[in-house]
Structure 1
Amino acid sequence: MINQVYQLVSARQIEITYKDSSISADKVVVRPTHLSICAADQRYYTGRRGEEAMKKKLPMALIHEAVGEVAYDPENILPIGTKVVMVPNNPIEEDEYVAENYLRSSKFRSSGYDGFMQDYAFLNRDRLIVLPQDINMRVAAFTELVTIAVHSISRLERKAIKRRGTFGVWGDGNLGFITCLILKSLYPDCIVTIFGKTNYKLNQFSFVDEAILIDEIPEDYEIDHAFECAGGKGSQYAINQIIDHIKPEGAICILGVSEYPVEINTRMILEKGLTLIGSSRSGSEDFQRTVDLYKEHPIIIDYLTTLIGQVYTITSVKEAIEAFETDLSSSWGKTIMEWKI
């Protein structure tokens, strides 16, 4: 069948291309219905990834945060219309010790490999996780972002010392919000504190135990473990502040992406015996755990609705471009595209 794919061909320019995609016995066909714009998509869309990366990876369809409905299952296991979240990571090998999202050979959608801006997606069965059929699909659209937090917490659970009294999260954006929410759901008896720069954003974190501005942290304030969700230039400041306030042998989970190297206080890392845990992307296991959490803690979905920002109905390339342009000026929440093109 001829599949329409909406590819970024240069900065701020999206064009339709036609690909002959064969229906096979090992691929489930999914019609994307709701897409969520990520900061990584915007770096490509605006050309901020740099000339070399743009030349190497374009043309390419954007979006790796998406949900849809099954259009065809060759094995008739998933009924037509089943709501699913699509896993953007596509491993082509297995490693006994390395997770699929860290294998250098894995392909990741909207990073050198077509994302979900297309009429139909053809996926291996293990790249689909069935959603509750009554779920809010606008929230489900950014499930991939939720899995980033879930993956990082899972890594901390395996690698950190067992003290779980207090958690600190640096970064009052979407990822910080989600990380706090998942921590509070998994560890309701633990103290979760959000550290941020902006009062109006901190006011959104109604479920945490404490919200503190980063320039008002008491000198003697301590936490057991921390998550850095600031990213960019702010990651250096956040990591060093964490090092100052974390207890000895605590773990620091680094989630924020910085385009440039940052300087951190290695002397105090050594003196305190700290563990730094890097986390990037996620795998199918993280998606399954996330959907299980949706079912076990329905309040997670309720809180995540506060992250829904602008919602656009997309019926043309022009409307998709308008959604990306408007998202650039958004300071809070996720821009959702209802994919009706």
Structure 2
Amino acid sequence: MSYIGFTIPNTHRAALLREFNKPLVVEDVPTVRPEGEAVLVRTIAAGICHSDIHAWRGDYRPAGLPKKIPIVLSHEVVGVVVACGDRVPKHLIGRKVLIYPWQYEDEDEFTLVGLTQLARRRLRLGLDVDGGLQEYLYVRHYKFLVDAEGLADIPALAPLACAGLTTYRAIKKLASYVGPEDYVVVVGLGGLGSYAVQWVRTLIPYTNLVGVDTRDEAIEFASKLAKVDYVVNPSKVNPVDEVMRITKNRGVKAVVDLVASPKVVATYINVLDTRGVYVLVGHMGEEGITVPRPRIIRNELVIMGSYTGSLAEQREVVELARSGRVNYSAVVTTRYRLEDVNEALKNVEEGRTLGRQIVVFD
């Protein structure tokens, strides 16, 4: 198979999830020829997200995910377009692109107002269809490609498709609630938090930022990426008492919860000021959460979810990276080969990492 300067093999290497909780198997798979609006992307890098760990362990089986086994994981993918169908603009061939992972199938009431991530019918990379832990990725429509030409560190862009996008939308949603004298708490300074603290400084630079994590090394890492005004380590102090001390008993205007376990929610909802907003982002555990109903009512607290981000917001994130408003390269701390993908999964699962991890292809 050959397309304008690119010779494409009939088969390529992919890391397949064949059994839950078993090592991924790297083997040859057929390379699909794109038709119509579809494109074929040669993978430059693919990110390892905690959602991949959930899929690998089988945590999503009650929801019927992944939709197929075997499947190729990773929804954070950057690459170069090497082939396209007959209804795709030919100038895209050779372009470096970030792939938007939450690919809607139909136009509906959500996509028509730009909320593409909430489409009723969507195909998610690494869950519904094969993801990026393979040398070539079939993308069913070129509209899901975000131009990445001209950026200095193309492989490090991959996590912007999920971690960068998800935290960008969460901070963007709460920005209108926050004033110059207010405080914002980011709970969890790992892979998501490494971007979140930067988005706070980009979108609401006038606020007081409080970073929370149980690991001193994570606090130190995030503090190198953005100005964190105050830090709290709940393993060393009572976090509610410490936040109230920092705010002089006023409380904070917003909490961005990148963990969102029942225990964490029950703790940090108590640091909100009147008319404060609590943004749930993390997926740690499937248990229900308990919230103080009288306090929510009397103080007019707002609890909201934030799920990934739209295609338009994905483009905004890449443009902010292009303009230097987010240090996306420094967030990526480890780069693996495809052969080492199981080591990457284990390191993320066991919390032995800072920032984000990616698999880089030759």
Q: How would you bin the TM-score normalised by the shorter chain?
A: 0.7 to 0.9
Say which SS state the counterpart of residue 41 (structure 1) adopts: helix
Question: Is the aligned partner of 1:87 residue 2:100?
Answer: yes
Q: Are the aligned partners of 1:126 and 1:284 in contact in 2 as well (CA < 8 Å)? A: no
The structure 1 residue matched to 2:232, chosen from 164, 189, 212, is 212
Deviations 1:235-261 (A, max 9, x none): 323323332221211221110113222
Q: Are the aligned partners of 2:72 and 2:133 in contact in 1 as well (CA < 8 Å)? A: yes
Residue 156 of structure 1 corresponds to which residue in structure 2?
174
Residue 24 of structure 2 corresponds to which residue in structure 1?
14
After TM superposition, the score normalised by the length of structure 1 is 0.86
What RMSD over aligned residues (CA atoms) do the two structures have, in Å? Answer: 2.5
Question: Is the aligned partner of 1:34 residue 2:54?
Answer: no
Question: Is the aligned partner of 1:43 residue 2:54?
Answer: yes
The structure 2 residue matched to 1:313, chosen from 334, 337, 344, is 337
Q: How many angstroms does 1:23 deviate by?
A: 2.6
The structure 1 residue matched to 2:258, chosen from 221, 225, 229, is 229
Alignment of 1:247-266 (within 5 A): 247-257=273-283, 258-266=285-293
- When residues 313 and 112 of structure 1 are mapped into structure 2, their CA distance, relative to the original with a 3 A threshold, is same
CA distance in 2, matches of 1:55, 1:208: 38
Q: How many angstroms does 1:175 deviate by?
A: 1.1
Q: How many angstroms does 1:152 deviate by?
A: 1.6
Q: How many angstroms does 1:120 deviate by?
A: 1.9
Say which SS state the counterpart of residue 90 (structure 2) adopts: coil
- When residues 269 and 147 of structure 1 are mapped into structure 2, their CA distance, relative to the original with a 3 A threshold, is same
CA distance in 2, matches of 1:75, 1:54: 33
CA distance in 1, matches of 2:190, 2:203: 20
CA distance in 2, matches of 1:8, 1:134: 32
CA distance in 2, matches of 1:310, 1:205: 16
Structure 1, 63-72 or 331-340: larger mean CA deviation:
331-340
Residue 332 of structure 1 corresponds to which residue in structure 2?
354
Say which SS state the counterpart of residue 228 (structure 2) adopts: coil
Residue 273 of structure 1 corresponds to which residue in structure 2?
300
CA distance in 1, matches of 2:306, 2:158: 21
- When residues 241 and 14 of structure 1 are mapped into structure 2, their CA distance, relative to the original with a 3 A threshold, is closer
Q: Are the aligned partners of 1:58 and 1:112 in contact in 2 as well (CA < 8 Å)? A: no
Q: Are the aligned partners of 1:64 and 1:110 in contact in 2 as well (CA < 8 Å)? A: yes
- Paired AA for residue 112 in structure 1: D
Say which SS state the counterpart of residue 142 (structure 1) adopts: helix
- When residues 79 and 305 of structure 1 are mapped into structure 2, their CA distance, relative to the original with a 3 A threshold, is same
Q: Are the aligned partners of 1:7 and 1:17 in contact in 2 as well (CA < 8 Å)? A: no
- Paired AA for residue 86 in structure 1: I
Q: How many angstroms does 1:76 deviate by?
A: 1.8
Residue 136 of structure 1 corresponds to which residue in structure 2?
153
Residue 287 of structure 1 corresponds to which residue in structure 2?
314
CA distance in 2, matches of 1:240, 1:142: 29
Structure 1, 19-28 or 119-128: larger mean CA deviation:
19-28
CA distance in 2, matches of 1:8, 1:241: 37
CA distance in 2, matches of 1:13, 1:196: 30
The structure 2 residue matched to 1:199, chosen from 184, 205, 216, is 216
- Paired AA for residue 83 in structure 1: K
Q: How many angstroms does 1:194 deviate by?
A: 1.0
% same residue: 18
The alignment covers a number of residue pairs equal to 328
The structure 1 residue matched to 2:268, chosen from 216, 239, 242, is 242
Deviations 1:5-61 (A, max 9, x none): 542111224343634623324122211111111111112223444588568542211
Q: Are the aligned partners of 1:32 and 1:339 in contact in 2 as well (CA < 8 Å)? A: yes
The structure 2 residue matched to 1:183, chosen from 200, 214, 219, is 200
CA distance in 1, matches of 2:353, 2:169: 25
Structure 2 unaligned blocks of 5 or more: 2-9
Question: Is the aligned partner of 1:170 residue 2:197?
Answer: no
Q: Are the aligned partners of 2:252 and 2:273 in contact in 1 as well (CA < 8 Å)? A: yes
